[in-house]
Structure 1
Amino acid sequence: MNTNTKLQNGEFLDKAELAALGEGQMAYVKPILSDEITRLFPQAPEIQPGLKLFALLSASGEPIVLTDTRDAAVANAWAHDLETVSLH
């Protein structure tokens, strides 16, 4: 299975190159359940299972902030001059 991403000009990007795109410029807002928190935020305290939360992740997938509203995640990104993209 090819794990490279093909660009419109026919060139390919590997996973590392793709992850580096937008680093320091773009962040992703990802809805998650509290059950997933320890995977992204290992240092986070235990939280009631089943809560709907939002994680702000860097372009490379590194966690930035965890919040209970999408608006708060977007506001945090804007405060750090990051453009936001939603993940579903």
Structure 2
Amino acid sequence: MNTRHDLGDLGENVVYVKPVSVSDLPEEVQEQAGDLTTLFAVHDAEGQQLALVANRTLAYQLARQHDMVPVTVH
């Protein structure tokens, strides 16, 4: 079941982390990704991308270092 949720309802410091296929990114970013096939994007509740990192662990660490609460979305 796919249910839409407003992440803003979870609090103002919530960010969401989602996997992104490197092949879907601009060529310049693909070149920087090296051998990786998936990167992880960190977005705010409005959908603004805040960061793009190599793995989920790093995405969560980054969010927590900036006093944000990371949640995973698919």
The TM-score normalised by the length of structure 1 is 0.61
Higher RCO (Cα < 8 Å, 6 or more apart)? 2
CA distances 1:40-60 after superposition (whole Å, capped 9, x unpaired)? xxxx82415971111011111
Amino acid aligned to 2:67: D
Aligned residues: 67
Cα distance between partner residues in 2 of 1:21 and 1:37: 29
Cα distance between partner residues in 1 of 2:71 and 2:29: 27
Question: What is the alpha-carbon root mean square deviation over aligned residues?
Answer: 2.6
Over 3 Å off, 4+ runs: 18-24
Q: Which residue of the partner structure matches residue 50 of structure 2?
A: 64
Between structures 1 and 2, the one with greater helix share: 2
The answer for unaligned runs of 5 or more in structure 1 is 6-17, 39-43
> Whose Rg is larger?
1
